[in-house]
C-alpha cells in the first residue's frame, strides 16, 4: 500500500499530529511523553511567538488510512540570517520502521524548503533551542526526560539511508550528588565571589523573578548562547512567551542567580525535578488526573532525579570560574531533597567549557545525540 502525505490544516489534524508522537511509543518503558497542551501551543501559529521569525508546515503520513508518521518543516529566518545560511529545519519527526514513510516525509519537507529558497535540511531541531533537538543515537536503555527527544534505534538508519549526514553531536551525563560541595570547587567559588564582588540572589516566586530581573533573565541566555550551534536570538515577544510558560513551573530552590556589585545578573542555573515517571502515568495529559501526578513530581520533598535545564554565564564573566558558583549554591539543595543524581541537558561535543562543569563530580556519560544535515538537490 502506498504512502499518502497530507498537510496538517485543521485543529483536529494538529491534535492527531501531536498524539501520534506519543502513541508510537505506547510500549516503550523509556519514552517520556511531552505535555500535550505544551506541544499544541508550541506548534500553534497563533500562540507561539517564534512565528514572528519562523514559518512552518506540518505533514502526516498515512497508510491504509492510518497515521504512520509525522514531520514538521521550519524556516527560522532570524537564525538563518544570524548564521548566514539557508537551512530548512525539520523536527517532530516520528515514523514506523518503513523507509517509504520516512523518506516520503523528508522529501515533502525538502520540497517545501526548496520552494522557500533554502539549500539544505537540518534536524531534528525545533523553532529555537528551547525546543527538542538531537536524535538519540546512544542510550536507548536510559529513561528519557521532558526536555529531550527519545526515539527508537531504527531512526538513525532511516536518516542515513536518506542521505543525511552528521552535522554535530551532543553528549549527556548523569551527575551524582556529592554529600557536600567538593573542596576544590568551594575554594574556587569563594575566591571568585570575592575577586569579582559577586553574590547569590534568591527569589521565591515567578512574579518576584520577573519583577526583579524582567527579561534580563533571557537577555543573559541570549548573550551566553549566541555563539553556539544554530542558536536563534530571541525576540522580546519570545522572551515574554518563555517567561509565562516556564517560570510558573519552577521550584525556586533549584534556581541559582548570581549578580555583581551593580546588581546585574551575570550567571544563572535552572534545574527542575524530573517528572518523566509522572508523565508516563498520565501520557502527557493534564486531565482528568494527570495534573495531580505532575504536581506531586514538581512539589515533592524527596526527589531522586533532577534535570539540569540550562546554565548561562555572561560572556565577560566566562572563563573566570563563575560557573562553579552555580554548582556550589545548588549542591546543598540537592542534598536537602535527597537527590541521587542529576541529568545534564545535551552539551555540544565541541563545548569543552560546559563539559568542564562536571569535572568535580562523579559522572556517567550515558547518552549521545546527533543533528544531521543534507543539501537540497
pLDDT tens, 58-91? Answer: 999 999 999 999 999 999 999 999 999 999 999 9
Question: Is residue 263 pLDDT above 70, yes or no?
Answer: yes
Q: Among all chains, which residue has been given the C-alpha cell 563563575? A: 322
Question: In angstroms, rounded to a whole number, what is the distance separating the alpha carbons of residues 37 and 47?
Answer: 12
Grid coordinates representing 214? 524582567
The answer to whether 317 and 220 have CB atoms below 8 angstroms apart is no
Q: In Å, what is the CA distance from 267 to each residue of 81, 121, 324, 346?
A: 27, 34, 10, 19
* Three-state SS sequence of 182-204: CHHHHHHHHHHHHHHCCEEECCC
What is the longest distance spanned by two Cα atoms in the chain?
A: 70
CA atoms 289, 301, 172, 138: torsion sign: negative
Which triple of cell numbers denotes residue 83? 548564521
DSSP state of 338: T
Is residue 331 within 8 A of residue 177, CB to CB? The reply is yes
- Residue 321 gets the label, from left (phi > 0), alpha (psi -120 to 50) or beta, of left
pLDDT band at 1 (very low <50, low <70, confident <90, very high): low
CB atoms within 10 A of CB 77: 14
Percentage of the residues of the chain whose pLDDT score is greater than 70: 100
Cell of 2: 502506498
Cα(222)–Cα(372) distance, rounded to whole angstroms? Answer: 24
Helix and strand element counts for the chain (H, E) = 13, 14
For 301-349, write each residue's pLDDT tens digit: 999 999 999 999 999 999 999 999 999 999 999 999 999 999 999 999 9
> Are the CB atoms for 98 and 41 separated by under 8 Å?
no
Helix extents (H) in the chain: 11-23, 36-43, 77-83, 99-115, 154-162, 183-196, 206-213, 216-225, 236-246, 276-282, 290-299, 323-336, 352-355
pLDDT tens digits along 147-188: 999 999 999 999 999 999 999 999 999 999 999 999 999 999
Asked if residue 289 has pLDDT above 80, the reply is: no
How far from 112 is each of 17, 79, 90, 131, 241, CA to CA, in Å?
18, 18, 11, 21, 28
Average pLDDT, the chain: 94
Distances (CA, A) of 268 to 40, 168, 323: 29, 26, 9
pLDDT, one tens digit per residue, over 212-251 is 988 888 999 999 999 999 999 899 998 888 888 888 888 9
Q: How far apart are CA 92 and CA 45, in angstroms?
A: 15
Residue 41 in contact with residue 242, Cβ under 8 Å?
Answer: no
pLDDT at 186: 93
Q: Are 88 and 74 in contact (CB under 8 A)?
A: yes
Amino acid at each position: 500500500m502506498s504512502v499518502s502525505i497530507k498537510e496538517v490544516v485543521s485543529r483536529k489534524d494538529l491534535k492527531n499530529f501531536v498524539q501520534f508522537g506519543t502513541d508510537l511509543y505506547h510500549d516503550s518503558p523509556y519514552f517520556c511523553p511531552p505535555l500535550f497542551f505544551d506541544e499544541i501551543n508550541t506548534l500553534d501559529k497563533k500562540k507561539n511567538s517564534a512565528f514572528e521569525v519562523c514559518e512552518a508546515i506540518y505533514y502526516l503520513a498515512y497508510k491504509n488510512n492510518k497515521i504512520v508518521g509525522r514531520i514538521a518543516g521550519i524556516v527560522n529566518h532570524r537564525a538563518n540570517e544570524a548564521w548566514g545560511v539557508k537551512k530548512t529545519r525539520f523536527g517532530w519527526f516520528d515514523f514506523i520502521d518503513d523507509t517509504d514513510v520516512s523518506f516520503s516525509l523528508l522529501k515533502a519537507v525538502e520540497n517545501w524548503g526548496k520552494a522557500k529558497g533554502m539549500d539544505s535540511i537540518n534536524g531534528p531541531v525545533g523553532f529555537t533551542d528551547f525546543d527538542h533537538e538531537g536524535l538519540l543515537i546512544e542510550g536507548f536503555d536510559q529513561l528519557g526526560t521532558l526536555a529531550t527527544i527519545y526515539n527508537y534505534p531504527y531512526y538513525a538508519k532511516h536518516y542515513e539511508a536518506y542521505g543525511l549526514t552528521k552535522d554535530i553531536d551532543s553528549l549527556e551525563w548523569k551527575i551524582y550528588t556529592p554529600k557536600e560541595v567538593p573542596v576544590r570547587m568551594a575554594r574556587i567559588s569563594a575566591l571568585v565571589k570575592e575577586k569579582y564582588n559577586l553574590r547569590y540572589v534568591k527569589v521565591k516566586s515567578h512574579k518576584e523573578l520577573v519583577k526583579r530581573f524582567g527579561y534580563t533573565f533571557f537577555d543573559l541566555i541570549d548573550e551566553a548562547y549566541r555563539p553556539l550551534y544554530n542558536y536563534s536570538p530571541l525576540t522580546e515577544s519570545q522572551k515574554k512567551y518563555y517567561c509565562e510558560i516556564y517560570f510558573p513551573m519552577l521550584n525556586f530552590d533549584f534556581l541559582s542567580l548570581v549578580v555583581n556589585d551593580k546588581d546585574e545578573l551575570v550567571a544563572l542555573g535552572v534545574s527542575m525535578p524530573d517528572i518523566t515517571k509522572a508523565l508516563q502515568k498520565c501520557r502527557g495529559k493534564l486531565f482528568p488526573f494527570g495534573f495531580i501526578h505532575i504536581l506531586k513530581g514538581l512539589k515533592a520533598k524527596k526527589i531522586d532525579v533532577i534535570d539540569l535545564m540550562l546554565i548561562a554565564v555572561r560572556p565577560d564573566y566566562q572563563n573566570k570560574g563563575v560557573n562553579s558558583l552555580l554548582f556550589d549554591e545548588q549542591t546543598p539543595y540537592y542534598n536537602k531533597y535527597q537527590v541521587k543524581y542529576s541529568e545534564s541537558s545535551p552539551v555540544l561535543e565541541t563545548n569543552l567549557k560546559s563539559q568542564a562543569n562536571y569535572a568535580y563530580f562523579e559522572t556517567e556519560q550515558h547518552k549521545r545525540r546527533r543533528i544531521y544535515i543534507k543539501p537540497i538537490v
